[in-house]
């Protein structure tokens, strides 16, 4: 009896103690690791550094002597017998002409010219499938969980001089080779989407390295070169004994062709993952109100209407408000990416964040294009499950759309950077926002965006003649490519027998209609309501 009374007293005391505790304080007190707190250990940081060291080691420049690498005309010899940073058929290698120039340091590097440094031509190595798999495993592991920030921070180490020259040379050679390859494909039966994707990859390689390159820039150059190699190899396999111009179509039943395309897709997926981490773009996804978008896909008529009502405050039967939700979310993302904190009284712009996101998404777009073009013949049921969940379906549609939107901004941003370098006066914040919107008028109605009223303008940015600069911009929105690829990503995320009824596919249909209307001067899909 006494024991029973004591038991009851203890139970009541515990209940009273727990209910009077602040749960968050209680939970916080248990968070953390003793080894990290007391012994100041950072194993995640050490693992990230190990991963970066592995990456640097795997991309150690290889140098071919000037005598072997440069011909009598002063052009670099491309191909197996000389500089083989891009493995290409001999007939194409012979036709590629790239001038060379002696350099003493990175300041002497010139666009479209291969640098001869210390009597050799340094380039990034050609990595075979085993080497690539090892790096992918190491880096994907380092990017997992809390490790992502540490890994990206470790990649910010300055690159060595020879690495920078090697990366420059690799990009120049790969750019020329891919342009040559694309030329060969003009008369072939290869789908236009593939050719467009290769063109985008060549353009990416044509971009010069940033000032003061870091290990991240070297890694990106290596990954883009790997992707170029995989793509050229896949085309060579498709051509068989013939020339690239003889390729009839992509034979997806040929196991060798499928294996080659698998390698392209794997390299593209890896590049998306690394680029995404560098731009911290996963934070953007978490800030988008995906709850509402996803609920629209999963609900039938009743749930869909109710879910839409939460966003638009209107209830109607039309699917077009799906597009509203999507556009609303893109606008929200733009606000977040521009770093304008609209909840504070004096919003400040984070230009560096903006630049990082644009670079990251531009790279992702290129990689997505190649991911899609190498998925020929695959369906929801046959594509690798990991690739399907990370890069297809709703995740793929959202990420690819964002990548396209920001890729369209890149030419404008390059102009801003040029203007800054030349000492000209660059844009105001409001004008940069306008540039983003105007670069994407096929996707976003600028009138739907309400800019914050006040900005703190960072140093070095002030007023500019916006009209004069706009005429110099050459933004080409490849709408057809976007629609083709986003539809393909949606289809890969939906089981075959659900394709006809899929709400995700219907959304892509509505996006296409809306874009057609915008291009043809019609109403933008009747979606101006409900913002």
Partner 1 sequence: MKNIKKILISLILIGLISSTSVFADPDPGLLDSATQEARVSAFMPTSSHRMAMGSAGLGLAGFYDSYLYNPANISKDGFKFVLPSITLTVNNVYNLMEPDSGENVVELAQQVGDSDEAAIDLATLFLKSIPFGYGEILTLDANTGFKTRNFGLDLAVQEKLRSYNGGSDYTTASAISETSVALTAAIGFNVPLVSDYITLDLGASAAFNYKMYSLAIDANEILNLFNHMDEGADLILENIPFASGYAVPVTVGANLNLPLGFTISGVGRNFNGNYNMVAYSNLKSLINNDETIVAFIGEDTFDDEESEVTISDEFSVEVPWTLDLGVAFAPSTPLDGVLKAQLALDFIDCYSLIEDAIKETKTATQLKSDALESINIGAQVRLLNLLDVRGGFSQGYKSIGLGLDLLVLHLDASYYWKEYGEVLGQSPSDALSVKFSLISR
User: Smaller CB distance to partner 1: residue 144 or 425?
Assistant: 144
Shortest gap between Cβ of 271 and partner 1 (angstroms)?
14
Q: Are strands 100-103 and 62-65 parallel, antiparallel or unpaired?
A: unpaired
For partner 1, the closer CB: 32 or 522: 32
Stretch binding partner 1 (CB under 8 A), from 9-17, 223-231, 341-349, 429-437: 9-17
Is residue 297 near partner 1 by the rule CB under 8 A? yes
Neighbour count for residue 38 (Cβ, 10 Å): 9
Q: Maximum distance among all alpha carbons in the chain?
A: 105
Residues touching partner 1: how many (CB under 8 A)? 59
Q: Answer yes or no whether residue 19 interacts with partner 1 by CB under 8 A.
A: no
Rounded to 5 degrees, what angle do the CA atoms 209, 162, 147 make? Answer: 65
Closest CA to 92 of 297, 236, 251: 236
Strand stretches in 245-325, DSSP E: none
- Is residue 451 a contact point for partner 1 (CB under 8 A)? no
Within 8 A by CB and 6+ apart from 447, the residues are 528
The torsion of the CA quartet 376, 379, 382, 388, rounded to 10 degrees, works out to 100
By beta-carbon proximity to partner 1, the closer residue of 61 and 321 is: 321
> Exactly one of 86, 143, 194, 250 binds partner 1 (CB under 8 A); which one?
143
Q: Length of the chain in residues, anyone?
A: 531
Structure tokens at 310: 């939460």
Q: Does residue 294 interact with partner 1 by CB under 8 A?
A: yes
For partner 1, the binding residue among 75, 141, 379, 470 (CB under 8 A) is 141
Pick from 16, 46, 192, 421 the residue near partner 1 by CB under 8 A.
46
Burial 52-69 (b: 16+ CB within 10 A, else e): bebbbebbebbbbebeeb
Tokens in use for 168?
Answer: 């420059």
Q: Which DSSP helix (H) or strand (E) runs through 117? A: strand 114-117
- Any contact of residue 390 with partner 1 (CB under 8 A)? yes
What one-character DSSP code corresponds to residue 160? P
Binding segment for partner 1 (CB under 8 A), chosen from 60-68, 224-232, 304-312, 483-491, is: 304-312
Q: Interaction with partner 1 in 485-524: which residues (CB under 8 A)?
A: 493
Q: Which of 1, 19, 22, 145 binds partner 1 (CB under 8 A)?
A: 145
Nearest CA to 342 out of 352, 332, 351 is that of 332
Q: Which of 385/460 has CB closer to partner 1?
A: 385
Of residues 41, 101, 315, 473, which one binds partner 1 by CB under 8 A? 41
Interface with partner 1 includes 259 (CB under 8 A)? no
Residue 252 interacts with partner 1 (CB under 8 A): yes or no: no
> Is 344 among the residues that bind partner 1 (CB under 8 A)?
no
Two tokens, residue 62: 């290889």
What is the spatial distance between Cα 493 and Cα 499, in angstroms, rounded to a whole number?
Answer: 9
Out of 195, 214, 282, 318, name the contact with partner 1 by CB under 8 A.
282
- DSSP for 421-440 reads HTT-----HHHHHHHHHHTT
- Compute the least distance from the CB of residue 15 to partner 1, in Å: 11
Among 12, 21, 43, 315, which residue interacts with partner 1 (rule: CB under 8 A)? 43
Beta carbon nearer to partner 1, 98 or 274: 274
Of the candidates 57, 128, 130, 146, which one interacts with partner 1 according to CB under 8 A? 146
Q: Residue 167 in contact with residue 124, Cβ under 8 Å?
A: yes
H/E stretch holding 183 reads: helix 161-185
Query: Do residues 159 and 218 lie in contact, with contact meaning Cβ atoms separated by under 8 Å?
Result: yes
Contact 428, 390 (CB under 8 A): no
| Binding span for partner 1 by CB under 8 A among 37-45, 77-85, 91-99, 107-115 | 37-45
Per CB under 8 A, 313 contacts partner 1: no
Site string for partner 1, 85-124 (x = CB under 8 A): ----------------------------------------
Token pair recorded at residue 385: 């499950």
**If binding is defined by CB under 8 A, does position 273 make contact with partner 1?**
yes
Q: Which of 110, 112, 291, 344 binds partner 1 (CB under 8 A)?
A: 291
Query: Strand, coil or helix: what is 45?
Result: helix
User: Sign (positive/negative) of CA torsion 131, 384, 142, 168?
Assistant: positive
15 sits near partner 1 (criterion: CB under 8 A): no
To the nearest whole angstrom, how small is the minimum distance from the Cβ of residue 229 to partner 1? 25
**Which residues lie below 8 Å from residue 9, measured CB to CB, with a gap of 6+?**
none
Q: Does 69 bind partner 1 (CB under 8 A)?
A: no
Interface positions with partner 1 (CB under 8 A): 3-4, 6-7, 10-11, 14, 23-24, 27-28, 30-36, 41-44, 46-47, 50, 141, 143-148, 273, 276-277, 282, 285-286, 290-291, 294-295, 297-299, 303, 306-307, 310, 384-386, 389-390, 393-395, 398, 493
């Amino acid at each position: 009896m006494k024991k029973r009374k004591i038991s009851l007293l203890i139970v009541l005391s515990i209940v009273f103690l727990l209910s009077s505790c602040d749960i968050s304080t209680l939970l916080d007190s248990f968070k953390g690791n003793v080894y990290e707190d007391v012994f100041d250990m950072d194993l995640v940081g050490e693992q990230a550094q190990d991963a970066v060291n592995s990456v640097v080691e795997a991309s150690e420049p290889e140098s071919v002597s000037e005598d072997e690498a440069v011909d009598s005309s002063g052009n670099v010899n491309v191909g197996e017998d000389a500089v083989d940073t891009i493995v290409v058929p001999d007939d194409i290698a012979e036709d590629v002409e790239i001038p060379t120039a002696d350099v003493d340091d990175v300041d002497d590097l010139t666009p479209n010219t291969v640098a001869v440094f210390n009597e050799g031509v340094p380039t990034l190595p050609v990595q075979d499938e085993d080497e690539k798999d090892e790096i992918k495993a190491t880096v994907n592991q380092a990017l997992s969980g809390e490790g992502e920030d540490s890994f990206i921070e470790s990649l910010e180490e300055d690159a060595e001089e020879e690495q920078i020259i090697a990366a420059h040379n690799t990009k120049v050679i790969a750019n020329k080779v891919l342009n040559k390859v694309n030329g060969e494909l003009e008369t072939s039966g290869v789908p236009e989407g593939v050719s467009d994707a290769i063109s985008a990859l060549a353009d990416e390689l044509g971009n010069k390295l940033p000032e003061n390159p870091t290990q991240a820039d070297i890694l990106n150059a290596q990954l883009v070169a790997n992707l170029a190699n995989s793509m050229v190899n896949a085309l060579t396999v498709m051509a068989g004994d013939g020339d690239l111009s003889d390729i009839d179509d992509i034979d997806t039943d040929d196991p060798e062709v499928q294996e080659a395309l698998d390698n392209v897709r794997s390299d593209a997926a890896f590049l998306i993952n690394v680029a995404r981490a560098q731009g911290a773009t996963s934070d953007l996804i978490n800030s988008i109100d995906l709850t509402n978008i996803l609920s629209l896909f999963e609900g039938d008529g009743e749930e869909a209407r109710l879910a839409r009502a939460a966003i638009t405050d209107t209830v109607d039967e039309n699917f077009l408000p799906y597009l509203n939700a999507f556009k609303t979310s893109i606008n929200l993302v733009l606000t977040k990416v521009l770093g304008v904190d609209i909840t504070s009284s004096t919003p400040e712009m984070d230009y560096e964040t903006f630049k990082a996101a644009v670079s990251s998404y531009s790279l992702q777009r290129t990689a997505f294009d190649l991911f899609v073009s190498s998925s020929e013949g695959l369906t929801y049921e046959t594509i690798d499950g990991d690739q399907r969940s990370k890069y297809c379906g709703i995740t793929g549609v959202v990420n690819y759309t964002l990548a396209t939107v920001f890729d369209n901004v890149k030419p404008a941003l390059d102009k801003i950077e040029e203007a800054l370098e030349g000492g000209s006066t660059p844009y105001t914040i409001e004008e940069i926002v306008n540039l983003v919107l105007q670069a994407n008028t096929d996707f976003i109605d600028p009138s739907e965006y309400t800019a914050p009223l006040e900005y703190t303008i960072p140093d070095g940015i002030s007023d500019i003649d916006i009209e004069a600069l706009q005429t110099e911009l050459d933004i080409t929105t490849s709408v057809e490519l976007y629609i083709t690829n986003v539809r393909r990503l949606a289809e890969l995320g939906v089981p075959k027998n659900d394709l006809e009824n899929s709400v995700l596919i219907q959304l892509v249909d509505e996006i296409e209609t809306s874009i057609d209307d915008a291009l043809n001067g019609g109403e933008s899909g009747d979606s101006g309501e409900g913002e």
